[in-house]
């Protein structure tokens, strides 16, 4: 009401001024129909312009008219940031081809301080965390009402059923206000005991386990909540109904309150239960169905005739029948199950009456709640258009796509009726979350190479929803004593209105590296099939050491790398999942430099190309199928991918090889127990396997590749805990993990328990022909580890902290490996919580 009166007042008083300002430029209302070039604000002191961009940006470039003006004004007043808004306009150019709208605003008072009065059950810090109103915010009535309800809800959870909260403001100097939350707590009630009457089939202890309310004890505080009480009555009834006692009910709950010696209120709750008799299931019949046959509908019923009836299972059967119609667009059908209960025989059957109507077509697809993200960015992720037949499966696919963008904390669909029969609207309401990540400080380098310094100074900026267009723009600077990297990237997720992505990145890198030196006694060029570097006396000794020279025989050199990468990919939304293909090209220049007066490298290319820029080119292709629910932290579904890379296109390049990577992942939710409106106790099981091979090109005997790019168990991402395995290089890698994942704070933090198995072999043939043979330490080549850990599931902080217990398989027995934390046998591992896209 207050907003409506404000807008009416603006219309009666300000609009004539607005019109006069415009007519001051000429009496012909030159501004009508002119494109809006800019929308600017005068008088902003505490409100940031960026907070208003989400409203104003969508109007830029649109022809001005009165409807647009009132739309903008209404949205600005709805924010409750301003006491008054006075519009005016100027010409952008002398000819008046474009218009600039200027709003002169008077801000509402901002919050100087927030006080709480009357609270004793909750500390001030607890209350301050609950309220959305903060110091220096504009004190709006909407926020204050929300904060009142948040405080009330918290008190109800703590056992204060009579809680009352009232927010008020007091004027303070410099157009500021003090917000005071006046709290009348009432008396706190805690539960002392639960009792049950009328239960003969199930014992008190069994029924007590169904309750979310808990009596006061060492762990539970025993707080009474009316909302939980209502839910617990329903839980008891459901427990009976799911075990065949369809007539069971909770007749009453009697509450007795007493004061103990300390003056505390203690409650005893007695549930009075009617159990009734147990019933068996006698089947489901259908009437009125013509679109689908009775045989088709009956096939959806999993309940078996003659079994004890399970209400939840029958409800799922009926839901599958409804979903069959719903999936095919018949959402206006009337499906009414009627139970036929034979008390004498103790049986229940159902007759499902179906009134079939035509398919529902989507009239409009509307988006609400988005301020930064453009409407079309959201709409393009939903595989439906106006005029399409409604499909629940496609709506769910669209929701999954929107969640995977990581732009929104919540996405809610609604299906209100349209303007005529057989028409409906699809309304998608979103709640945006921050998409700009700014990280500055010290970070773990992400490299498991023990020769590199593990800590870097890092500055990283990424906008995953650049200007609301759904694209990614980022830049990063990383500096450590041996590695310095500057990079920038841009990704456009949709091109030409199609699910065709395009990416571009640029990287400048400097590294201090090491390479094998020539043997002082045997003068090899380095390209002979029998050549070996310094540190070995024979070629056989070199091979037996996995072609890894001792550290004392490695020479230092500097490497600079400039590279530009471009890639593209196309996505198809299929019933099996999102199928995608992609490819890319990387063009780089490589420069290695060392002192020729001191060192002679074993690698002839490194020796030949010293202190000169050498091309480094590669191309890659990939294909994937993905039906996971959420990419970053999945709870169900699978992912499979195949990637092929071709490195070294020109003969002068330093590296020449081919590489394949095959990956598969599968996730399954073991259980999911709701414990509140926004949190559930969930356990997810995940499996992963990956197989990588490096091949020589057809005209090479072996792959020409730097040691750093060979395959290895790095101890962080692969074979967690096995950091000392990084120098054991190979051309064939098999890595696996199995994980139990338990979210602690959904979307933020999870507890994991992992089991890893990974190992390398010399080449493709050795992986298959020598799989069971022992390695140079006499053990099976796979490295095993397991342990617990914590994983952050937010893109802004993708770290994982784990404890790893390592072991080998030697002669068919487990051989434990000592860890790095004292004598505990455990290793502490820091890695990145990588997600597969």
pLDDT at 121 > cutoff 70: yes
The answer on 584 and 633 residing in a single domain is: no
Q: Which residue has the higher pLDDT, 249 or 67?
A: 249
Task: Answer yes or no: are the C-beta atoms of 76 and 103 closer than 8 Å.
Answer: yes
What pLDDT sits at residue 382? 93
The token pair at 336 is 């009414």
Q: Which residue has the higher pLDDT, 502 or 174?
A: 502
Three-class SS state of 537: coil
Tell me: the pLDDT tens digits for 424-459?
A: 999 999 999 888 888 777 655 544 454 566 567 888
In a domain, 621, yes or no: no
Task: Answer yes or no: are the C-beta atoms of 805 and 819 closer than 8 Å.
Answer: yes
Q: Is 459 exposed, middle or buried (0-12, 13-18, 19+ CB in 10 A)?
A: middle
What pLDDT sits at residue 676? 58
The H or E element that residue 247 is part of is: none
pLDDT at 161 > cutoff 90: no
Tell me: the pLDDT tens digits for 546-562?
A: 677 888 889 999 999 99
- As a whole number, mean pLDDT of residues 117-123 equals 90
In a domain, 480, yes or no: no
Tell me: the pLDDT tens digits for 202-222?
A: 999 999 999 999 998 877 888
What pLDDT sits at residue 204? 95
pLDDT at 823 > cutoff 90: no
What pLDDT sits at residue 546? 64
pLDDT at 8 > cutoff 50: no
Mean pLDDT score across all residues of the chain: 87
What pLDDT sits at residue 835? 56
- As a whole number, mean pLDDT of residues 584-607 equals 89
The answer on 292 and 202 residing in a single domain is: no
The answer on 339 and 410 residing in a single domain is: no
The H or E element that residue 15 is part of is: helix 15-23
Q: Which residue has the higher pLDDT, 296 or 773?
A: 296
What pLDDT sits at residue 457? 85
Q: Which of 499-508, 529-538, 668-677 has the lowest mean pLDDT?
A: 668-677
The answer on 657 and 734 residing in a single domain is: yes
In a domain, 762, yes or no: yes
- As a whole number, mean pLDDT of residues 279-290 equals 95
pLDDT at 27 > cutoff 50: no
Q: Which long-range contacts (CB under 8 A, 24 or more apart) does 417-421 make?
A: 418/363, 418/364, 419/363, 420/363, 421/332
Angle at 800 between CA 799 and CA 804, to 5 degrees: 155
The answer on 198 and 177 residing in a single domain is: no
In a domain, 603, yes or no: yes
> For the chain, how far is it from start to end, CA to CA, in angstroms?
48
Domain termination residue (choose one: 128, 153, 184):
184
What pLDDT sits at residue 10? 46
In a domain, 69, yes or no: yes
Identify the bridge partners of residue 343 per DSSP, sorted by sequence position.
none
Strand 361-368 to 577-593 pairing: unpaired
What is the Cα–Cα distance from 554 to 589, expressed in whole angstroms? 24
In a domain, 155, yes or no: yes
Three-class SS state of 768: helix
Three-class SS state of 600: coil
Domain termination residue (choose one: 298, 322, 355):
355
Q: By percentage, how much of the chain surpasses pLDDT 70?
A: 93
pLDDT at 523 > cutoff 70: yes
The answer on 833 and 731 residing in a single domain is: yes
The answer on 127 and 234 residing in a single domain is: no
Quickly state the pLDDT bin for 7 (edges 50, 70, 90): very low
What pLDDT sits at residue 50? 79
Q: Which residue has the higher pLDDT, 732 or 65?
A: 732
What is the Cα–Cα distance from 770 to 767, expressed in whole angstroms? 6
What is the Cα–Cα distance from 712 to 450, expressed in whole angstroms? 13
pLDDT at 189 > cutoff 60: yes
Quickly state the pLDDT bin for 621 (edges 50, 70, 90): very high
What pLDDT sits at residue 143? 85
Nearest to 502 by CA among 472, 474, 466, 476: 472
Q: Which residue has the higher pLDDT, 193 or 542?
A: 193
What pLDDT sits at residue 287? 95
pLDDT at 25 > cutoff 90: no
- As a whole number, mean pLDDT of residues 766-781 equals 84
The answer on 645 and 706 residing in a single domain is: yes
Range of the domain at 289: 280-355
In a domain, 478, yes or no: no
The answer for residues whose C-beta is within 8 angstroms of residue 197's C-beta and 6 or more apart is 270, 271, 272, 273
Task: Answer yes or no: are the C-beta atoms of 60 and 92 closer than 8 Å.
Answer: no
The token pair at 514 is 């090491």
Tell me: the pLDDT tens digits for 131-160?
A: 988 888 888 888 899 999 999 988 988 889
The domain total for the chain is 7
Hey, how many other C-beta atoms are within 10 angstroms of the C-beta on 651? 8
Which CATH number does the domain housing residue 73 bear? Answer: 3.10.20.310
Domain termination residue (choose one: 107, 138, 165):
107
What pLDDT sits at residue 527? 67
What is the Cα–Cα distance from 166 to 159, expressed in whole angstroms? 19
The answer for residues whose C-beta is within 8 angstroms of residue 42's C-beta and 6 or more apart is 102, 103, 104, 105
The answer on 284 and 267 residing in a single domain is: no
What pLDDT sits at residue 77? 84
pLDDT at 569 > cutoff 90: yes
Angle at 197 between CA 191 and CA 198, to 5 degrees: 150
What pLDDT sits at residue 837? 54
Nearest to 226 by CA among 148, 161, 272, 155: 161
- Is the dihedral angle over the CA atoms 186, 190, 192, 197 positive or is it negative? positive
What is the Cα–Cα distance from 409 to 808, expressed in whole angstroms? 43
The answer on 44 and 150 residing in a single domain is: no
The answer on 371 and 347 residing in a single domain is: no
pLDDT at 48 > cutoff 70: yes
Quickly state the pLDDT bin for 20 (edges 50, 70, 90): very low
In a domain, 151, yes or no: yes
Q: By percentage, how much of the chain surpasses pLDDT 90?
A: 49
Task: Answer yes or no: are the C-beta atoms of 116 and 185 closer than 8 Å.
Answer: no
Q: Which of 118-132, 519-533, 594-608 has the lowest mean pLDDT?
A: 519-533
Nearest to 123 by CA among 149, 147, 158, 148: 158
pLDDT at 822 > cutoff 70: no
Task: Answer yes or no: are the C-beta atoms of 133 and 144 closer than 8 Å.
Answer: yes
- As a whole number, mean pLDDT of residues 299-304 equals 94
The answer on 718 and 803 residing in a single domain is: yes
pLDDT at 466 > cutoff 90: yes
What is the Cα–Cα distance from 613 to 620, expressed in whole angstroms? 23
Quickly state the pLDDT bin for 28 (edges 50, 70, 90): low
What pLDDT sits at residue 549? 84
């Amino acid at each position: 009401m207050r907003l409506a009166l404000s807008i009416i007042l603006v219309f009666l008083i300000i609009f004539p001024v607005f019109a006069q300002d415009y007519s001051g430029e000429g009496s012909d209302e030159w501004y009508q129909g002119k494109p809006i070039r800019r929308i600017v604000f005068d008088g902003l002191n505490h409100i940031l312009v960026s907070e208003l961009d989400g409203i104003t940006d969508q109007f830029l470039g649109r022809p001005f008219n009165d409807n647009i003006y009132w739309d903008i004004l209404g949205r600005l007043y709805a924010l409750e940031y301003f006491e008054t808004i006075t519009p005016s306009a100027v010409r952008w150019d002398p000819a008046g081809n474009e218009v600039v709208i200027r709003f002169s605003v008077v801000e509402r008072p901002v919050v100087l301080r927030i006080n709480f009065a009357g609270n004793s059950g909750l500390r001030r810090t607890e209350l301050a965390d609950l309220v959305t109103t903060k110091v220096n915010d504009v004190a709006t009535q909407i926020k204050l009402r929300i904060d009142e309800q948040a405080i009330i809800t918290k008190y109800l959870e703590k056992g204060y059923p009579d809680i009352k909260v009232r927010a008020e403001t007091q004027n303070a100097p410099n157009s500021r206000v003090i917000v005071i939350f006046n709290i009348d707590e009432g008396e706190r009630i805690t539960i002392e005991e639960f009792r049950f009457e009328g239960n003969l089939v199930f014992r008190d202890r069994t029924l007590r386990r169904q309750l979310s309310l808990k009596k006061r004890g060492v762990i539970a505080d025993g707080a009474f909540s009316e909302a939980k009480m209502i839910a617990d009555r329903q839980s008891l009834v459901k427990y009976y109904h799911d075990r065949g006692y369809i007539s069971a009910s909770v007749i009453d709950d009697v509450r007795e309150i007493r004061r103990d010696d300390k003056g505390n209120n203690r409650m005893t709750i007695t549930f009075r239960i009617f159990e009734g008799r147990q019933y068996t299931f006698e089947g489901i019949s259908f009437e009125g169905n013509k679109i689908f046959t009775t045989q088709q509908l009956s096939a959806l019923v999993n309940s078996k005739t003659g079994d004890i009836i399970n209400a939840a299972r029958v409800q799922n059967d009926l839901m599958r029948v409804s979903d069959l119609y719903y999936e095919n667009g018949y959402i206006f059908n009337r499906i009414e199950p009627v139970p036929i209960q034979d008390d004498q025989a103790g049986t229940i059957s159902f007759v499902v009456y179906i009134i079939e109507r035509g398919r529902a077509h989507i009239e409009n697809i509307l988006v609400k709640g988005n301020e930064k993200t453009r409407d079309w960015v959201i709409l393009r992720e939903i595989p439906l258009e106006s005029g399409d037949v409604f499909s629940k499966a496609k709506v769910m696919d669209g929701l999954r796509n929107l969640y995977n963008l990581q732009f929104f904390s919540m996405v809610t669909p609604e299906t209100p009726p349209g303007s005529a029969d057989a028409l409906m609207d699809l309304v998608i309401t979103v709640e945006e979350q921050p998409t700009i990540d700014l990280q500055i400080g010290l970070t773990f380098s992400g490299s498991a190479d023990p020769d590199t310094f593990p800590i870097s100074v890092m500055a990283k900026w990424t906008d995953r929803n650049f200007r609301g267009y759904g694209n990614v723009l980022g830049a990063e600077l990383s500096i450590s004593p041996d590695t310095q990297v500057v990079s920038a990237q841009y990704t456009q997720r949709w091109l030409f209105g199609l699910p065709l992505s395009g990416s571009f990145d640029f990287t400048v890198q400097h590294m201090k590296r090491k390479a094998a030196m020539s043997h002082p006694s045997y003068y090899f060029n380095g390209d002979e099939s029998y050549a070996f570097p310094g540190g070995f006396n024979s070629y056989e000794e070199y091979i037996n050491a996995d072609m890894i020279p001792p550290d004392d025989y490695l020479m230092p050199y500097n490497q600079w790398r400039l590279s530009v990468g471009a890639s593209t990919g196309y996505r198809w939304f299929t019933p099996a999942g999102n199928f995608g293909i992609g490819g890319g090209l990387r063009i780089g220049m490589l420069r290695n430099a060392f002192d020729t007066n001191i060192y002679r490298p074993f690698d002839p290319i490194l020796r030949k190309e010293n202190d000169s820029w050498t091309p480094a080119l590669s191309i890659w292709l990939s294909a994937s199928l993905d039906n996971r629910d959420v990419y970053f932290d999945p709870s169900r579904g699978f992912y499979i991918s195949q990637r092929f890379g071709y490195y070294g296109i020109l003969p002068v390049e330093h590296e020449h090889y081919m590489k394949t990577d095959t990956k598969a992942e599968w996730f399954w939710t073991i259980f999911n127990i709701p414990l509140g409106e926004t949190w559930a106790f969930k356990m997810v099981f995940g499996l992963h396997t990956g197989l990588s091979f490096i091949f020589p090109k057809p005209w090479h005997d072996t792959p020409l590749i730097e040691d750093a790019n060979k395959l290895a168990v790095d101890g962080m991402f692969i074979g967690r805990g096995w950091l000392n395995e990084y120098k054991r290089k190979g051309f064939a890698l098999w890595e696996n993990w199995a994980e139990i994942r338990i979210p602690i704070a959904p979307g933020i933090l999870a507890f994991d328990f992992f089991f890893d198995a990974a190992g390398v072999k010399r080449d493709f043939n050795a992986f298959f022909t020598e799989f069971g043979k022992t390695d140079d330490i006499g053990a099976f080549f796979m490295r095993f580890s397991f342990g617990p850990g914590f994983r952050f599931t937010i893109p802004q902080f993708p770290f994982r902290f784990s404890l790893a217990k390592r072991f080998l398989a030697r002669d068919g027995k487990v051989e434990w490996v000592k860890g790095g934390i004292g004598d505990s046998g455990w290793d502490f591992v820091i890695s990145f919580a990588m997600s597969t896209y």
